[in-house]
Structure 1
């Protein structure tokens, strides 16, 4: 139907379809008294899709490097972009919880609400990874001297901030909530990342700085509570 619908009405059809898809799960559990339970494989599917999206981010890095001259700055930007992709993978899977959905199927209303928060916050993670990958590609291509407009910086920084928000929400909804220090550190980095947009940093400086910050954040996340 949307193919035959002119814009901008087509976009509204997409919004309606997405709203129906997102609300399908909650409506089902509210309207049906007894929902058949089974062992869920959603956690595996979430993880698999994260890997697929991260793969696209790595492809964006490779595409950006391929479209530029091989200079030390381009190579450094490409390495930084790859480090960012690995850091996102590290942050997501380090605290992956495979019991959230299964507990929701066997638990009460609170467990069910937690599972919806866990599941739907993955949308923020997916969008954040994609935007970060595209932003890294912009950054690598701009190293050759074509400029790094604020809109492209916003894609990179906004995507990373969106990922940090999404991964913090979904891991906070798991059966093993995040330590407060980790939540604060991630949100602070998200705000600092957004604050970099109006500074007009060069693409090489920005992508390298973000890569270093992500590595440091993951290292801090892995520090035992007794030490931190």
Structure 2
């Protein structure tokens, strides 16, 4: 079942790529559009990598066997819904290269915040979890997209999407930093 749900997540992320390609197919390509396309790809690839490396059933930070299927399936459903909303927002963003309409900015940012909220909920069920992760990873990844939604009205579209990429990369950076720190401390 985990493999099938993981494949479903890949399909949803592929829809994000299709949304961007569809929205840009009739546009004249310039630097801003190239930068947006690259940012959208990096965002989707990062969100694919999180559950692939540290997840189960397409849900980042969910460990196998922690939740019964009746609880893991709704969690997977909500994660997929966040990714589908993000995909729709990326498609709409490609049509507004100067600044995002408020609704599109909120859709992108709240979808990413929801994704990381669900990731944090999945993490709570893991055995041997380190509590600092909630404070240093889950909380910033949930709050920062919402801060961007509130205060990002005057930012260019490309800047908003690249900031979302940085937020999505934070869990990977934290993991690398904490593992180097653990090796350096001899733990």
Normalising by structure 2, what TM-score? 0.81
Partner in structure 2 of residue 120 of structure 1: 74
1:172 shift after superposition: 3.5
* Structure 2 counterpart SS, 1:142: coil
* Unaligned residue ranges in structure 2 (runs of 5+): 58-62, 183-187
Larger Rg: 1
Contact kept, 8 Å, 1:117 with 1:170, in 2: the verdict is: no
- Which fold has the larger relative contact order, with Cα–Cα distance below 8 Å and residues 6 or more apart in sequence? 2
Q: Does 1:164 align with 2:116?
A: yes
Aligned length: 174
Describe how 1:198-209 pairs up with structure 2 within 5 A: 198-199=150-151, 200=153, 201-209=155-163
Distance 1:219 1:61 in 2: 26
Q: Equivalences for 1:144-183 in 2 at 5 Å?
A: 145=98, 147-174=99-126, 176=127, 178-183=129-134
Name which of 30, 43, 46 aligns with 2:2: 43
| Further displaced range: 192-201 or 151-160 | 192-201
Distance 1:67 1:212, change over 3 A: farther
Alpha-carbon distance in structure 1 between the residues aligned to 2:45 and 2:168 = 9
**CA 192–136 in structure 1, closer or farther in 2 if over 3 Å, else same:** same
Equivalent position to 2:38, from 79, 94, 98? 79
Residues 137-188 of structure 1, C-alpha deviations (whole Å, 9 max, x = no match): 1222101x5x5211111111111111111223234435x5653333331221
Matches within 5 A, 1:1-228: 42-97=1-56, 100-101=64-65, 115-143=69-97, 145=98, 147-174=99-126, 176=127, 178-184=129-135, 185-199=137-151, 200=153, 201-225=155-179, 227=181
Alpha-carbon contact 1:67-1:141 (below 8 Å) kept:
no
The CA RMSD measured in Å over matched residues stands at 2.3
User: Does the 8 Å contact 2:145/2:167 carry over to 1?
Assistant: no
CA-CA distance at 1:78 after TM superposition: 0.7
